[in-house]
Every structure is written in C-alpha cells, then in structure tokens.
Amino acid sequence: MITDESLIEKSLKNGFSYTEYRNHVMQLLMDGLSTGATQSEDLTHYTTLNEVRMNRLDKTIKLPEDIKNRLANLKKEHTLLVISEGWCGDAAQILPIINKMAEASDKLSIEIVLRDENAELMDAYLTNGARSIPKMVLLDDALNARASWGPRPQGGAQLIRDYKEQFGVIDQQVKTDLQKWYLQDKGHSTMEEITLLLENAENIE
C-alpha cells in the first residue's frame, strides 16, 4: 500500500532513532511502565525480557559478507520506518538486525515509531486485518512508501500459521517455538528478505 505522504511525514515527527527508542523503553521500565496504551505486569515483564534479548543481539548479530556487500552497493537513499512497541517479542528479535543493516550502509537510516501513538499509520499497514508488529515501511529519498515488510520473516510466519492450523490457537508453546526459531535463524532470514526488498525498490522508478 502506498501511504499518503502527509501521514508518513506526520509519523516521522514522532520517530525515534534506534538509540532513542532503546533509551525510551528503558526509562519507562525504570518507572514500572511499558510502551503502549495498555499497562500491565505482563507487558512490563515482556519488555524486561526483550531488553535482555536486544542487548544480547546488539552484541552478537553479525552481517554476512554477502549482505554487507549488497547493502554497500545500494545506489539510492532509503529510510526504514519501523512500527514497534517495547513489549513485542518479534520486534525485540528484529529491530537489532534492522539497526545493524542501517549501520552498514550510508544509504540507510532507521526511524522507529510506536504503534499505539501512530494508529493511523498502523492501520495503513495491517496484516490480515490485525495491527501486527513490527511492521517496516520502506521509504525512498522523497519519503514515498515503496514497500512494507513484517511482522516476521517468512519462516517464522509459516511456523505460526502451521501451528494455528493444527491447534487452532496461538499459545505459549508456539511462542516458545518461535523464539527458538529466531535463535537458530540468527537473523539471516530477516537480513535476506529486507535486503531483497531494498534491491527491488532500487529498480522502481
């Protein structure tokens, strides 16, 4: 979906850099809060777990040489606008990877906005009618939306679909299975899918 430019610009005014986002989430946690319109012990618990995950990924995620080279060969400037919340487990697995990719290319920048504070933007990028996050909107140098990606890589999405088809629910077991999938994948699916999206966007006039 190509989103109205004024909506993109309005959303970007609410944007965080990766460091700003991490600091914002941490500051809220210190006050016993999570991001988002709803507050609960569960959400602050998930946010705390995600902080540990993201700290680990910030230190351990490595971009393969192939991905580095492909990002280095990008000719146009792109903004990776990511819709997220601090309590989201998928976002915790994916945001550090997108940040590493942005750091690897002078053609890429990352902006993060909170879902509940940017409902109009979120509603432009629903997944099967749901406000699923993280959702990345790929913007060109004129801030036109060229493509979107998310809320998870294809392999993780297929795992969820298969489990729901078999058992009819999304429960703690499949959430645990998904976290194991992310661990084994080491971010490679996310890197490959987003790099391919960028390469395809470069060919769009």
Provide the β-strand partners of residue 127.
130
Q: What is the DSSP string of 123-142?
A: HTT-BTTB--S-EEEEE-TT
Q: What angle do CA 171, 22, 126 make, to 5 degrees?
A: 50
Instruction: Find out whether 78 and 107 touch, Cβ atoms under 8 Å.
Output: yes
pLDDT in tens, 83-114: 999 999 999 999 999 999 999 999 999 999 99
- Give the model's pLDDT for residue 203: 83
- Give the model's pLDDT for residue 204: 73
Instruction: Find out whether 145 and 138 touch, Cβ atoms under 8 Å.
Output: yes
Question: pLDDT band for position 4 (50/70/90)?
Answer: low
| pTM across the whole model | 0.94
CA–chain centroid gap for 128, Å, is 17
Q: Render the burial of 55-83: b for 16+ CB within 10 Å, e for the rest.
A: eebeeebebeeebbebbeebeeebbbbbb
* 77 pLDDT above the threshold of 60: yes
pLDDT in tens, 11-35: 999 999 999 999 999 999 999 999 9
Determine the 3-state secondary structure of 114 from DSSP: strand
Query: Domain of 104?
Result: 5-202
CATH number, domain with residue 177: 3.40.30.10
Show the tokens assigned to 157.
Answer: 């999405």
Show the tokens assigned to 81.
Answer: 């606008």
* 1 pLDDT above the threshold of 60: no
pLDDT in tens, 155-195: 999 999 999 998 888 899 999 999 999 999 999 999 999 99
**Region 63-76 average pLDDT:** 96
**Region 66-78 average pLDDT:** 96
Q: Is the peptide bond before 151 cis (omega within 30 degrees of 0)?
A: yes
Amino acid letter, residue 145: A
- Give the model's pLDDT for residue 169: 87
**Region 59-76 average pLDDT:** 96
Instruction: Find out whether 18 and 95 touch, Cβ atoms under 8 Å.
Output: yes
Separation CA 150–CA 122 (nearest Å): 12
* 122 pLDDT above the threshold of 60: yes
Structurally, the chain folds into a number of domains equal to 1
**Region 54-82 average pLDDT:** 97
The Cα-based distances of 58 to 42, 143, 166 in angstroms read 24, 27, 35
pLDDT in tens, 124-161: 999 999 999 999 999 999 999 999 999 999 999 999 99
Q: Judge residue 130's burial from the number of C-beta atoms within 10 Å of its C-beta, 0-12 exposed, 13-18 middle, 19 or more buried.
A: exposed
